[in-house]
Chains A and B, each alone.
Chain A
Amino acid sequence: MGSVLRRLLFFFQRDRFDRDLDDELRFHAEMKAHAIADADGLSGDEARAAARRRIGNPLRLRERSREPWLSLAVEAFVQDVRHALRLLRRDPAFAFTALATLALGIGLNTALFSVAYGVLWRPLPYSSPDRLVMLSSAQQTDKGVKTFSTWAPVSYEALRRRVTALEDLAAYASIEVPLTGRGEPQQVSALDVSPNFFATLGVAPVRGRTFLTGAGAPDDERSAIISDRLWRTSLEGDPAIVGQTITLDGLPRTVVGVLPPDFSFRPVVRNGALPEPDIFLPNRWPGDTGRSAFLWLLGRMKPGVTLARVESELAALVNDASVVPGGALGMEGALAPNVRTIARAVGLQEYGTESVRALLLILLGAVSCVLLIACVNVANLQMARLSARRGELSVRMALGAGRRRIVRQLLTEAVVLSLLGASIGVMLAKLAIAVTLPLVPQLALPRLGGIVIDGRVMAFCLALSLVSTLLIGLVPALRVSGAAFGEELALHAGEGRTTGDRQGERLRTLLVAAQIAMTLILLVGAGLLIHSFVRLTSVSPGFDSSGRDGVVQTVKVTLPERLYDRPERIQAFARGVLDRIQYLPGVKSASLINSAPFGRMFIRSDFSIEGQPKPTLDAGRPKIEAGYFTTMGIPLLAGREFTAGDTAGSPNVAIVSERIVREYFPGGPAEALGRRVRIGDRGEWRTVVGVAADIRQMGLDQAVQPMLYVPFQQERDEVFVLRFVSFVVRTATPASVAEGIRAEIRRAAPDLPIQATVTMDEAVAASVAPPRFRMWLLALFAMAATLIATCGIYGLMAYAVTQRRREIGVRMALGADRRDVLRLVLMRALRIVVAGVVVGLAGAAGVTRVLQRFLFGVTPTDPIAFATVTLLLMAVGLLAAWLPARRATRIDPVRALRAE
């Protein structure tokens, strides 16, 4: 062993070895030269030359001196590897099963790790990204913690000037702007940013410059910095782009900079991320009244400053009314008075990833389980082969191979298997990522750019194969080094008909039971998500997205603020387009709304009912045109729809939703008719003319919101909320009608980009895409685990039947019929499966809690999911055992007995 250690040491000190040898030889040569000079009377140089000649080629000498260190270790290793490969080739069924399961296990882990690493841990592409923090405020009230993620511009200015723990404090707001004059008009994701935004991130444009931050930088008001992507696509990579103007929102903007190609900034919101902005516009938000909070604050901490220090300093500032005016934090009415506000600072990397982090960690846990099951399977197969190879091994031991040598051989086999499995696994992972990433629901992951298979992921993969090597190699190796094995070998060599390797079989049974347990846990997880998904999709959205009379097609536009600055302009545009699309061929009915359901937009506020105390609930307040309920297929419970007669000049009317009636009109829908309601405290009173059924506005898993519908044509003040227009049309031919609507919009407003063209079916499907994706992933992992575990049971039982041929033969000879034999084998399998299932159920009951936040309408211990997957697994397990059991019944007792 000492020599192995010395050789290992040599490997790490090769440079020193060479230096030492060179020194030594130089010394030798000089001594020799002295001797020659003395003896032959030669001069120094001649003597040295003579000495060199006699010593011969120094390089070869060095090579030969090295050999002793290398040859022995390497030779033995190469020999072991060759032997392992030979064994694999000789047993292709084993090689295939082992490699396939390992590649699957390692591949899944590698793929998922690359995603988790890319999303959660890869350092962000900014300078010192660990010092970047997102700021928010929160209040602890009796209803729980209420978080305010955004800030009013006045608060931002006040904080930026005063905060000392931060090196820089930037603000941004996510917007969308129409880009016109460069090909087809398009709606581009953009970011309104404070001028110091890029300085805070520590990023500089590759072309041009960043925004000017000084006080004397008003020139920058009309500037823009663009992404590399936008520059390459829409601006055709124009090398002279800096200094040119582009038209955004109908106004010229000078491009002052182009960002580096690898720059990426994804605004993260509560449950996901917004699209990456392509345009950055400097903004100082002049004329802000502090009444609306819409800015996200991004700070850079000074070196050595802790999050806690930032939070305590901010909290002091936020609660000081002379710094941050009251009400400037949350939306109007959202802030509880006389409650201390807390400040939060969260690392930019962690910000908004809570949900994704939990999901990825759960999935990582699931795939680790799959790998563990795979390793157990291969270890089991190895054990079975070991029993079969006892002859070979005992011969080798008899010929003088030490136990240590045999163990090393087994470990080498495990290394070969793992590394081969890992190489296939990496390829699988690459494929899996390429195939799956495009399927990941949009905006579900905060960062996609970081997901690549790089050195770090490869290192993880290598570490996995090391772990699997240990798992695969150690179990059989321990068996060999156990004292009993040698004795069995001796016995085995002498006597041809042992009843099998008892101890090994016990261990294998245990391993298979463990596999079943882990598989069941995964299956329960998948079952819970599936049941939850079924529950979720059986929730009615409240509208009839597809029926006998066609589907609902929507086309969304956002009218630019500068051209549509008065309600009448917007209303005229909307009315004009709507009048024309009503007569498009294939259109059954048409209408429009400013905040379509499932459209990521929902405006709500407090409201009042005449003669009643102020309602505590907030209500959604969509603006709709005539025929909206008919088009959407939302039933009217009482009264009438809006009609073309409900215009700016006619009496103010409103339609309330079922939920409002349920909460505030105990007499039912009829009672609400004729009563008056208004939005906020100061708006105009509106007479309720109808009651509409409830709908889900934000998603199937979201609570039903109270709604207060107002005619689109009767909105007089709020231009902002009218600018978003979704045309909705019921039609049997959605594709051609959508094209028709787009053509009408282009006719009415040639420069208006069309944002989204989706059917309501698609919108609903998109809203359940994340849970569907989660469900599929976990189901896939569980299926992989089940497949592997099934192989495990099959292998164990097939082996057991072969081993017990003689016993079964005897039983049959003594009168047991086929049914008895079948029962014998199946009962044995059933015992193993049941043992595994019991342990698995206990384990599942313990761990499914982590899925809680991803479940809808089912509890983590949902009996239906638990029962279904248990039955499924038992059925699959018995099926796997049935094949060998049937083979057992076909044993011919005479031949089985004679064969010995």
Chain B
Amino acid sequence: MREAKSKGKNELLPGTLEMLVLKTLSIESMHGYGIAQHIQMLSADVLTVEEGSLYPALQRMLVKGWVSAEWKTSANNRRARFYKLTAAGKKQLGIEESRFSQVSGAIMRVMKTT
């Protein structure tokens, strides 16, 4: 069902959303909307982050202790929940990055050979 809905848009590879969120948060702590905006902007609107995936992913990362959350005042003076990378999160980002570069490198190699 979920897959059917998001067809037509550019889908993320499984597992990459968490990596992207971790990467985003490694720059600065941010609220959920900000994270989505940030990813969309930097990918030049190629990657859209669905709310239905983003918030469960954030919760998952909270459970695993990769990020921590805190209520703060946003730039436009509103109360928002800001997520921050933890030490475990930083470590996890490193793991995901190296794994991603391995996988993407491998995919590239496969695609190049004709």
Is there an interface contact between B56 and A24, defined as CB atoms closer than 8 Å?
Answer: no
A30–B79 Cα gap in the complex (Å)?
12
Is there an interface contact between B55 and A25, defined as CB atoms closer than 8 Å?
Answer: yes
A6–B81 Cα gap in the complex (Å)?
18
User: Which chain B residues border A21 with CB–CB below 8 Å?
Assistant: 55
Q: Which of A62-70, A361-369, A645-653, A762-770 contacts B (4 or more CB under 8 A)?
A: A62-70
User: Which chain B residues border A25 with CB–CB below 8 Å?
Assistant: 51, 55
A805–B63 Cα gap in the complex (Å)?
52
Is there an interface contact between B63 and A65, defined as CB atoms closer than 8 Å?
Answer: no
Residue of A nearest to B56 (CB): A64
Is there an interface contact between B52 and A68, defined as CB atoms closer than 8 Å?
Answer: no
A61 within 8 A of partner (CB): yes
Interface mask (A29-71 → B, CB under 8 Å = 1, otherwise 0): 0111000000000000000000000111000110011111100
A2 within 8 A of partner (CB): yes
A162 within 8 A of partner (CB): no
B64 to chain A: closest CB distance in Å?
6
A121 within 8 A of partner (CB): no
User: Using a CB-CB cutoff of 8 Å, which residues 631-687 of chain A contact chain B?
Assistant: none
- Provided the pairs A20-B81, A28-B51 are in contact, do residues A6 and B56 lie with their beta carbons within 8 angstroms? no
Interface of B is mostly: helix
Is there an interface contact between B32 and A24, defined as CB atoms closer than 8 Å?
Answer: yes
Is there an interface contact between B33 and A32, defined as CB atoms closer than 8 Å?
Answer: yes
A69–B55 Cα gap in the complex (Å)?
13
A54–B52 Cα gap in the complex (Å)?
10
A3–B79 Cα gap in the complex (Å)?
27
A806–B86 Cα gap in the complex (Å)?
59
**Number of chain B residues whose Cβ lies closer than 8 Å to a Cβ of chain A:** 22
A55 to chain B: closest CB distance in Å?
5
Is there an interface contact between A68 and B63, defined as CB atoms closer than 8 Å?
Answer: yes
A24–B70 Cα gap in the complex (Å)?
11
Is there an interface contact between B59 and A28, defined as CB atoms closer than 8 Å?
Answer: no
**In-complex Cβ contact of A6 among B50, B51, B63 (8 A):** B63
Is there an interface contact between A24 and B59, defined as CB atoms closer than 8 Å?
Answer: no
**In-complex Cβ contact of A60 among B52, B80, B81 (8 A):** B52
Is there an interface contact between B80 and A6, defined as CB atoms closer than 8 Å?
Answer: no
A60–B74 Cα gap in the complex (Å)?
26
User: Which chain B residues border A20 with CB–CB below 8 Å?
Assistant: 69, 71, 81
A30–B69 Cα gap in the complex (Å)?
20
B7 within 8 A of partner (CB): no
- Provided the pairs A56-B51, A61-B51 are in contact, do residues A27 and B56 lie with their beta carbons within 8 angstroms? no
A817 within 8 A of partner (CB): no
B112 within 8 A of partner (CB): no
User: Which chain B residues border A24 with CB–CB below 8 Å?
Assistant: 31-32, 55, 80-81
B99 within 8 A of partner (CB): no
A175 within 8 A of partner (CB): no
B94 within 8 A of partner (CB): no
User: Which chain A residues border B55 with CB–CB below 8 Å?
Assistant: 21, 24-25, 61, 64-65
Is there an interface contact between B65 and A2, defined as CB atoms closer than 8 Å?
Answer: yes
Is there an interface contact between A27 and B63, defined as CB atoms closer than 8 Å?
Answer: no
Is there an interface contact between A65 and B33, defined as CB atoms closer than 8 Å?
Answer: no
A65–B55 Cα gap in the complex (Å)?
6
Is there an interface contact between B81 and A23, defined as CB atoms closer than 8 Å?
Answer: yes
Interface of A is mostly: helix
- Provided the pairs A21-B55, A23-B79, A68-B56 are in contact, do residues A6 and B65 lie with their beta carbons within 8 angstroms? yes
User: Which chain A residues border B91 with CB–CB below 8 Å?
Assistant: none
**Number of chain A residues whose Cβ lies closer than 8 Å to a Cβ of chain B:** 26
A883 within 8 A of partner (CB): no
Is there an interface contact between B51 and A27, defined as CB atoms closer than 8 Å?
Answer: no
Is there an interface contact between B59 and A69, defined as CB atoms closer than 8 Å?
Answer: yes
User: Which chain A residues border B19 with CB–CB below 8 Å?
Assistant: none
A21–B58 Cα gap in the complex (Å)?
11
User: Which chain A residues border B79 with CB–CB below 8 Å?
Assistant: 23, 27
B62 within 8 A of partner (CB): yes
A699 to chain B: closest CB distance in Å?
71
A819 to chain B: closest CB distance in Å?
66
B71 to chain A: closest CB distance in Å?
8
User: Using a CB-CB cutoff of 8 Å, which residues 61-108 of chain B contact chain A?
Assistant: 62-65, 69, 71, 74, 78-81
Residue of B nearest to A62 (CB): B55
Is there an interface contact between A27 and B80, defined as CB atoms closer than 8 Å?
Answer: yes
A7–B64 Cα gap in the complex (Å)?
10
A67–B71 Cα gap in the complex (Å)?
22
User: Which chain B residues border A87 with CB–CB below 8 Å?
Assistant: none
Residue of A nearest to B51 (CB): A55
Is there an interface contact between A28 and B33, defined as CB atoms closer than 8 Å?
Answer: yes
Residue of A nearest to B74 (CB): A27
A28–B36 Cα gap in the complex (Å)?
10
A72 within 8 A of partner (CB): yes
Residue of B nearest to A51 (CB): B51
**In-complex Cβ contact of B32 among A3, A28, A69 (8 A):** A28
User: Which chain A residues border B56 with CB–CB below 8 Å?
Assistant: 61, 64-65, 67-68
Is there an interface contact between A68 and B81, defined as CB atoms closer than 8 Å?
Answer: no
Residue of A nearest to B58 (CB): A65
User: Which chain B residues border A32 with CB–CB below 8 Å?
Assistant: 33
**In-complex Cβ contact of A69 among B63, B69, B74 (8 A):** B63
User: Which chain A residues border B78 with CB–CB below 8 Å?
Assistant: 27, 30
A67–B63 Cα gap in the complex (Å)?
10
B34 to chain A: closest CB distance in Å?
8
- Provided the pairs A2-B65, A56-B52 are in contact, do residues A66 and B59 lie with their beta carbons within 8 angstroms? yes
User: Which chain B residues border A6 with CB–CB below 8 Å?
Assistant: 62-63, 65
User: Which chain A residues border B62 with CB–CB below 8 Å?
Assistant: 6, 68
User: Using a CB-CB cutoff of 8 Å, which residues 1-31 of chain A contact chain B?
Assistant: 2-3, 6-7, 20-21, 23-25, 27-28, 30-31
A56–B52 Cα gap in the complex (Å)?
8
Is there an interface contact between B63 and A31, defined as CB atoms closer than 8 Å?
Answer: no
A32 to chain B: closest CB distance in Å?
7
A589 to chain B: closest CB distance in Å?
91
Is there an interface contact between B31 and A27, defined as CB atoms closer than 8 Å?
Answer: yes
User: Which chain B residues border A27 with CB–CB below 8 Å?
Assistant: 31-33, 74, 78-81
A375–B32 Cα gap in the complex (Å)?
53
Is there an interface contact between B31 and A65, defined as CB atoms closer than 8 Å?
Answer: no
A69–B65 Cα gap in the complex (Å)?
12
Is there an interface contact between A65 and B80, defined as CB atoms closer than 8 Å?
Answer: no
A517 to chain B: closest CB distance in Å?
49
A7–B62 Cα gap in the complex (Å)?
10
**In-complex Cβ contact of B59 among A3, A23, A30, A65 (8 A):** A65
User: Using a CB-CB cutoff of 8 Å, which residues 121-151 of chain A contact chain B?
Assistant: none
B33 to chain A: closest CB distance in Å?
4
A56–B33 Cα gap in the complex (Å)?
15
Given A3-B65, A6-B63, A61-B56, 8 more pairs with CB closer than 8 A: A2-B65, A3-B64, A23-B81, A25-B55, A27-B33, A28-B33, A31-B33, A68-B62
What are some 11 contacts across the A-B interface (CB < 8 A)? A2-B65, A3-B65, A20-B71, A24-B80, A27-B78, A28-B31, A28-B32, A65-B58, A65-B59, A66-B59, A68-B60
